[in-house]
Amino acid sequence: MKTKFLLILAIFSLLFVASCTKDTATNNKQEESIAEIDFSGAQEEQDITSASDTYGTGTIIFIIFAGLLLGPGLILFFYYFIPLGLWYEARLSGVRVSWTTLVIMRWQRIPQELILKTLIRAENAGLHLDARELSDHYLAEVDIEKVVNTLIRAVNANLDIPLNVLAAQFLAKVDVEKVIHAQITAKNADLDIPLKVLASHYLAQVDVEEVVDALITAHNSGYEEMTLEDLKEHYLANGDVKRTVDAFVSARKANLPDFEFKDIAAIDLAGIDVMKAVEAAITPRVVETSGVSGVARDGVQITMKLKVTLRAKIKSIIGGASEETVLARVNESLSSEIGNAPSHQYILKNPFELADRVEQKHLGDNSAFEIISIDVSDMQIGKDINAELMTERAKAQAEMAKAEVIKAEEKVQKAMAAAFIDGNLSIHDYHRMMNTEADTKMRHSIGESAINKGKGKHDKNDKEDKNHH
């Protein structure tokens, strides 16, 4: 309030000085008219001189009074409306701002220091801006300092971007620093991406710096079919743009067949480590199966282990059969081939022939892996199933014969009992029969003992002969 009062006082002082100047000019004209008149008497001349002195003294008083009022008003005027030091600094830098513009800026409550220093910085950077234009953008709530600094970077990078365009993007809630940085990065890599495209991507919640860096990686690797739109879609689908592009470049460098960027992107979006998936497609992986047992036609059991070399197929990783499924197919096929072999001797002589037969069955079809080779890593001979079956059969037949003997003995016992009852067999006859049977068993036992003793002696002589030789 005090400042406004002093300002009004200064204006009235200026008006007062102007009126005093006008009165002084009128008095001078009157003096000239009096000098031309032919005075007839000394009294009249004295009266005129007295009047002249009176007018001159009044003028001096008025001038002094006006100066006392006008001095503080002028000081206040320059202090409040025109920052002379900053204005002169701007003039030295080649920035021309009129006092009228500064007064208007003060009335509109625009920070003069911010505008002038921004103009000086822009001018020193070779960017010619207008104070009125900056004031208008400030009133539109544009961050003048941020926008102008970003514009200076753009101009230094040879980007032709008007101030009003950049200010409009700022008002659209675009991070102009990030967008211009991405555009400069793209330009340094010989990629021409318009500001509006990057701004629209930013407003779509895309990290423009990340997608531009990924695009540069792809183009620098020679794959110019990659587009910013592809990367934008993958980013918005919550994909890892950088790892996906790195995996795509690695796959291209390895000359992997039959795939596109969308195939690599699908692997990443499926939650699979895309770099490991591509490495599995580039570098084959060797997997050893668990022991697979089978029985050849001659009844001998064979246990074999295989080494399977697998390579991932990019287009089939999503939805294709897993590695475990492929190995299960290999084990099943190997067991079948062992069963079809004519004998275990044949398998021992040609183990890799079985592996080749398994490999030729294309067990990797409709799976995520291609079988490159199958090799035998281990093989063991198991039980002779046929011999065991024959032994078990003989034991069963012996048990059946023993049962028949027991059944026959029961019949004999029954016949002897009937003979005793009928009187056809006496006790004397029964004892004689039992003695004869016991004598027969004793002779049989003595004979077996002699045979075994002779056989043992023969084996001992053979051993001594071997040691002698």
Pair 271, 298 in one domain: no
**Cα distance between residue 256 and residue 314, in whole Å:** 8
Helix (DSSP H) and strand (DSSP E) numbers for the chain: 20, 4
Looking at the domain assignment, is residue 396 inside a domain? no
pLDDT at position 35 is 41
Looking at the domain assignment, is residue 272 inside a domain? yes
Looking at the domain assignment, is residue 61 inside a domain? yes
Q: Are the C-beta atoms of residues 286 and 309 closer than 8 Å to each other?
A: yes
Pair 253, 317 in one domain: no
| DSSP at 366 | T
**Cα distance between residue 91 and residue 364, in whole Å:** 80
Pair 366, 331 in one domain: yes
Last residue of a domain, one of 326, 354, 386: 386
The arithmetic mean of pLDDT across residues 142-147, rounded, is: 92
pLDDT at position 298 is 72
**Cα distance between residue 181 and residue 179, in whole Å:** 5
350-393 tens-digit pLDDT: 778 777 888 778 777 777 888 888 888 787 776 655 656 666 66
Q: Comparing C-alpha atoms, which of 361, 338, 333 is closest to residue 350?
A: 338
pTM over 0.85: no
> Residue type for 94, please?
G
The arithmetic mean of pLDDT across residues 412-426, rounded, is: 65
Q: Are the C-beta atoms of residues 268 and 241 closer than 8 Å to each other?
A: no
pLDDT band at 349 (very low <50, low <70, confident <90, very high): confident
CB neighbours of residue 378 within 10 Å: 13
pLDDT at position 30 is 44
pLDDT, averaged across the chain: 75
Last residue of a domain, one of 233, 259, 283: 283
Pair 238, 295 in one domain: no
CA Rg value for the chain? 59
Looking at the domain assignment, is residue 91 inside a domain? no
The arithmetic mean of pLDDT across residues 196-201, rounded, is: 93
Can you read off the two tokens belonging to residue 366? 């409709």
Looking at the domain assignment, is residue 442 inside a domain? yes
Pair 352, 272 in one domain: no
Pair 264, 306 in one domain: no
Q: Does residue 69 register a pLDDT over 70?
A: no
Looking at the domain assignment, is residue 103 inside a domain? no
Q: Comparing C-alpha atoms, which of 340, 310, 314 is closest to residue 327?
A: 310
**Cα distance between residue 158 and residue 383, in whole Å:** 84
What's the domain range around 73? 2-81
Can you read off the two tokens belonging to residue 466? 């071997």
The residue written with tokens 């011999």 in the block is 387
Last residue of a domain, one of 337, 353, 386: 386
**Cα distance between residue 306 and residue 358, in whole Å:** 10
Pair 440, 427 in one domain: yes
Sign of the Cα pseudo-torsion (63, 69, 72, 76, in order): negative
Number of compact structural domains in the chain: 4
Q: Are the C-beta atoms of residues 369 and 320 closer than 8 Å to each other?
A: yes
**Cα distance between residue 326 and residue 310, in whole Å:** 9
Pair 297, 368 in one domain: yes
Pair 375, 407 in one domain: no
**If you count them, how many residues does the chain have?**
469
Pair 377, 442 in one domain: no
pLDDT at position 150 is 93
111-133 tens-digit pLDDT: 988 888 999 999 898 888 898 99
Q: Are the C-beta atoms of residues 156 and 183 closer than 8 Å to each other?
A: no
Looking at the domain assignment, is residue 124 inside a domain? no
Pair 313, 338 in one domain: yes
**Cα distance between residue 418 and residue 388, in whole Å:** 45
**Cα distance between residue 338 and residue 128, in whole Å:** 88
pLDDT at position 12 is 45
pLDDT at position 452 is 62
Pair 224, 318 in one domain: no
Q: Which CATH number goes with the domain that contains 302? A: 3.30.479.30
Looking at the domain assignment, is residue 96 inside a domain? no
